[in-house]
Amino acid sequence: MTRVPAAGRTLRVLRFLATRPGPVSAAVIAAELGLPRSSVYQLLEVMAEEGFVTHLPEERRWGLGVAAFEIGSAYLRHEPLERLARPLLERLSEQTGATAHLGVLHASDTLYLLKEQPRYTPPLVTGVGVRLPAHLTASGRALLSHLPRAQVRALYPDADSFANRTGRGPATPSELRSLLSDERHQGFSYEDSHVTEGFASVAAAAFDHNGAPVAAISVTVPSARPVTPRALAARARDTAAELTRRLGGRRPS
């Protein structure tokens, strides 16, 4: 239990409002959070004075205010994901002698935000800012495997949705569903020559406070390197778990 109950309740109200598609009544807030209605009104009034919530009198509802938007914008300006992940990637690359990436989903693409590459390693196409088809990359599939099935179907409705680079990788919705199911259960994703001939990658997802996949940690090595995917995956999973912890997240059950 929090040592400052009012502060804890305030944060719970803010988080609740952030998850709703639109403004809600104080009665709904109180019922959903199990709080006394009188306390909720008091919290909302103080939060409205500070700009964190806005009251819509005609609708008798409350929504997030400008101050909440400013906090969210400041969070993005601070680049927290990259800042938290960079030292982890540096350590992962040093431990494995391999190229490590931080990737996120951008629609049906993997967008690479960070890359740590040892000296004297072959150049890769996966540079910072590069986008590649998510279904071909280990990072993309590590994230896709934890998305709701309906969301994956929306991204990949038919065979025309599947780009191809080397002739390898899933090419239909059913192939992708099967592969994502297997990779979700094994706890990591793996591709060999799906993106670039002669290179293999493993990846594991990091999660936010709702247990949703927010980014993926991947490791890329030449396919001929004498190391098993599972051994590399253990390193990637440990790093992803540490990033999840730093983000205040949790792995879904």
Q: Kindly indicate the confidence band of residue 80, based on its pLDDT and cuts at 50, 70 and 90.
A: confident
The residue among 53, 74, 95 that closes a domain is 74
pLDDT 10s digits, 5-52: 888 899 999 989 988 888 999 999 999 999 999 999 999 999 999 989
Q: Which two tokens stand for residue 193?
A: 């020559």
Helix (H, G, I), strand (E, B) or coil at 171: coil
Q: Which two tokens stand for residue 104?
A: 């996120």
Q: Which two tokens stand for residue 61?
A: 């509802």
Q: In terms of residue numbers, what domain contains 69? A: 5-74
The CATH number of whichever domain residue 68 belongs to comes to: 1.10.10.10
Please, which residues have CB within 8 angstroms of residue 127's CB and are 6 or more apart in sequence?
A: 112, 115
pTM, 2 dp: 0.72
| Number of other residues whose CB lies within 10 A of the CB of residue 55 | 16
Q: Tokens 């996120």 identify what position?
A: 104
Distance CA 164, CA 103 (A): 19
Q: Which two tokens stand for residue 10?
A: 């305030």
Question: 253 or 242: whose pLDDT is higher?
Answer: 242
Residue 24 DSSP code:
B
The answer to the question of residue 235 being in a domain is yes
Same domain, 111 and 146: yes
Number of domains the chain contains: 2
Same domain, 113 and 193: yes
State yes or no: pLDDT of 1 exceeds 50: no
Same domain, 201 and 146: yes
pLDDT 10s digits, 88-113: 999 999 999 999 999 999 889 999 99
* Integer angstrom CA distances of residue 17 from 54, 67, 149, 242: 11, 13, 26, 28
Same domain, 56 and 87: no
The CATH number of whichever domain residue 166 belongs to comes to: 3.30.450.40
Helix (H, G, I), strand (E, B) or coil at 229: helix
Distance CA 49, CA 221 (A): 55
Please, which residues have CB within 8 angstroms of residue 158's CB and are 6 or more apart in sequence?
A: 173
Distance CA 99, CA 120 (A): 11
The residue among 49, 74, 99 that closes a domain is 74
Q: Kindly indicate the confidence band of residue 121, based on its pLDDT and cuts at 50, 70 and 90.
A: confident
Residue 10: what pLDDT?
Answer: 92
pLDDT 10s digits, 196-249: 999 999 999 999 888 999 999 999 999 888 778 889 999 999 999 999 999 989
With contact defined as beta carbons under 8 Å apart, do 218 and 139 qualify? yes
